Amino acid sequence: MDRNNPGGTGPVHVPLGHIVANEKWRGSQLAQGMQGKVKLIFEEDLASADFYLSSRSCILYITEADLVVGHGYRKRLVRVRNSGHLQGIIIVEKTQTSEQYFPAVQKFTVLDLGMVMFPVANQLEASCLIIQLVQEQTREPSRNPFLRKKRCVLSELSLVQTVQQIPGVGKVKAPLLLQKFPTIQQLSNASVQELEEVVGHSVAQQIHTFFTQSR
Amino acid sequence: SAVPCSHSSLLVADGHTAPRPPQEGNRACILVDSREITSGLEVISSLRTVHGLQVEVCPLNGCDYIVSNRMVVERKSLSEMLNNGSKNKFIEQIQRLQSMFQRICVIVEKDREKAGDTSRMFRRTKCYDSLLTALVGAGIRILFSSGQEETADLLKELSLVEQRKNVGIHVPAVLNPSKCEALQFYLSIPSISYITALNMCHRFSSVKKMANSSPEEISACAQVTRQKAEEIYRYIHYTFDMQMLPSDLNQDRLKSDACSAL
């Protein structure tokens, strides 16, 4: 069987930093916009996808005409979604003519199929976006600000702030209580008598009520 | 006969101007940040009147919309996304949401056009494209909206999808005073969302019960992932060390010690 099966969703080899493009895009404005910035490899028989960014992610391009004509494009999306090993990124031409169809497409692709979708105004915008997508895929994940490791928070300060939320406890009593009962759990289990060693009778009562009262 | 009768009752139900809430409990609930009253009033009123959702305005502290136990939605104007100047602020905001929520969705909303204003032409920037691709790379969903009404529609759809996945919001947002005290306490736990704190308020019989729960129990009651539950568990069991407290607070305490000694 051919490397690219008739469904066009078989594994496609994409060298790093390259894009495998469907033959039909040869000479288009979109391809021209990308040339010089990324290397394009044209291949035939990519029935479902328009571009492959890697062997696991591909781009489906929906033109203004596709949107206006009807729901034909949906089959293509579903085929890629069901392939299992491919992440499909949908790029839609959102123009004055096709704008009215956009909400329905977005609901179908993003909310029903759970795929990623971007609107563009024309092929030139699409070429810039695709280049950006290639750059995102080839760079270190840690360069993505949304994938950075969380920094450690100072728990002592937040513990004091948590204890201050107990009625009757302010910024003076909170550290005193934590010195005697060093975890929230131990503080929650303290009896009124134990609490009275740190705070006065009425506040001790208040703290005990706060923890034990059923709500 | 029975048939026309059921027909007429259907008609009556349809004829209501205000959409009738489906059975209580099945009705989708969305929490809205009180700051959205100024910037997204039309979103809120559309949610209520057009879609008939239960909308609760709460002090969410910068989380625009909470549509389920695990998902937050950030509403962002297109012009802000295009502008390189507000990029860092946006990144910080998303990072903050990432510490609290399992799933994040950004709705990019087109700015309202003023009559005769042609200066605000949409010009796609590299900054915009790089933000979009970075968001997608981190698994954050993006939706595009043409205005506040469409944003409301998208919020409704998101909350329905989440509800179908059994993570819908099913606790009342209105609290009695004693629950309010507990809510403030839970909210002070680092990286906890408003809906998680609300779930804890309603599903733990007392704060003491919560403080003595296992990670499994926390996960079930607070409706959070196992990982998040373990984070909360570690916080509850974290041993306080006075030496680690920032010095200004320590000095406050010393002063107060001196006062009480006098």
pLDDT of residue B177: 82
pLDDT at A140 over 90: no
pLDDT of residue B7: 39
pLDDT of residue B175: 83
pLDDT of residue B19: 42
List, as ranges, residues 34-93 from B with C-beta within 8 Å of A: 91
3-state secondary structure of B142: strand
The full length of chain B comes to 262
pLDDT of residue A91: 97
Task: Inform me whether the C-beta atom of residue B141 falls under 8 Å from chain A C-beta atoms.
Answer: yes
**Average of per-residue pLDDT across B35-58:** 92
Lowest-pLDDT range, A64-73, B53-62, B109-118, B149-158?
B109-118
CA distance B47 to B53: 6
Enumerate the β-bridge partners of residue A146: none
**Average of per-residue pLDDT across B200-210:** 95
Task: Inform me whether the C-beta atom of residue B242 falls under 8 Å from chain A C-beta atoms.
Answer: yes
Q: Tell me, what DSSP letter sits at residue B176?
A: -
pLDDT > 70: what percent of chain B?
81
Q: Which residues of A touch B256 (CB under 8 A)?
A: 172
Q: Do A106 and B140 touch (CB under 8 A)?
A: no
Q: What's chain B's average pLDDT? A: 85
pLDDT of residue B174: 82
Residue to substitute from B107, B192, B237, B240, interface A, most A β-carbons within 10 A:
B240
Of A129, A136, A214, the CB nearest to B205: A214
Q: Give the pairing type, strands B103-109 and B71-77.
A: parallel
pLDDT of residue B13: 38
Residue to substitute from A120, A136, A154, A209, interface B, most B β-carbons within 10 A:
A136
The CA–CA distances, whole Å, from A130 to A11, B108, B128, B136 equal: 20, 19, 13, 13
List, as ranges, residues 146-185 from A with C-beta within 8 Å of B: 146-148, 150, 153-162, 164-167, 171-172, 175-176, 178-179, 182-185
**Average of per-residue pLDDT across B193-208:** 96
Q: Which amino acid is at A49?
A: A
Which position has the higher pLDDT, B8 or A174? A174
Question: What b-and-e string marks burial along B62-84, b requiring 16 or more CB atoms within 10 Å of the CB?
Answer: ebbbbbbbbbbbbbbbbeebbee
List, as ranges, residues 98-157 from A with C-beta within 8 Å of B: 99, 102-103, 106-107, 110-111, 116-121, 125, 128-129, 132-133, 135-137, 141, 144-148, 150, 153-157
Task: Compute the count of residue pairs across chains A and B with CB atoms less than 8 Å apart.
Answer: 169
Which position has the higher pLDDT, B157 or B248? B157
Q: Do A129 and B150 touch (CB under 8 A)?
A: no
CA distance A178 to B86: 40
**Average of per-residue pLDDT across B223-244:** 94
Which position has the higher pLDDT, B86 or B255? B86
pLDDT at B240 over 80: yes
CA distance B158 to B104: 11
CA distance A103 to A201: 63
Residue A171 phi/psi, 5-degree rounding, is: -75, -10
CA distance B87 to B151: 22
pLDDT of residue A14: 86
Task: Inform me whether the C-beta atom of residue A200 falls under 8 Å from chain B C-beta atoms.
Answer: no
Of A132, A137, A159, the CB nearest to B238: A159
> How many Cβ atoms sit within 10 Å of the Cβ of residue B137?
18
Banded pLDDT at B4 (limits 50, 70, 90) = very low
CA distance A121 to B37: 32
pLDDT at B162 over 60: yes
Q: Which amino acid is at B21?
A: P
Q: Are B211 and A163 in contact (CB under 8 A)?
A: no
pLDDT of residue B252: 53
Q: Which amino acid is at B167?
A: V
Tokens found for residue B246:
């920032």
Task: Inform me whether the C-beta atom of residue B225 falls under 8 Å from chain A C-beta atoms.
Answer: no
Q: Are A51 and A58 in contact (CB under 8 A)?
A: yes
pLDDT at B246 over 80: no
Q: Tell me the pLDDT tens digit for each residue of A54-70.
A: 888 999 999 999 998 88
pLDDT of residue B114: 67
Q: Which residues of A touch B189 (CB under 8 A)?
A: 158, 162
CA distance B87 to B81: 7
pLDDT of residue A137: 87
Q: Tell me the pLDDT tens digit for each residue of A81-120.
A: 998 888 999 999 999 999 999 999 999 999 999 999 999 9
Instruction: Output the CA torsion sign for A40, A43, A48, A54.
Output: negative
Q: Tell me, what DSSP letter sits at residue A153?
A: P
CA B226 to chain centre: 20
pLDDT at A8 over 50: no
Q: At B73, which helix (H) or strand (E)?
A: strand B71-77
Alpha-carbon gap: B95 to the closest alpha carbon of chain A (Å): 6
pLDDT of residue A17: 80
Q: Tell me the pLDDT tens digit for each residue of A9-62.
A: 456 788 888 899 999 999 999 999 998 888 999 998 777 789 999 888 999 999
Alpha-carbon Rg for chain A in angstroms: 29
**Average of per-residue pLDDT across A159-188:** 96
Lowest-pLDDT range, A188-192, B20-24, B57-61, B240-244?
B20-24
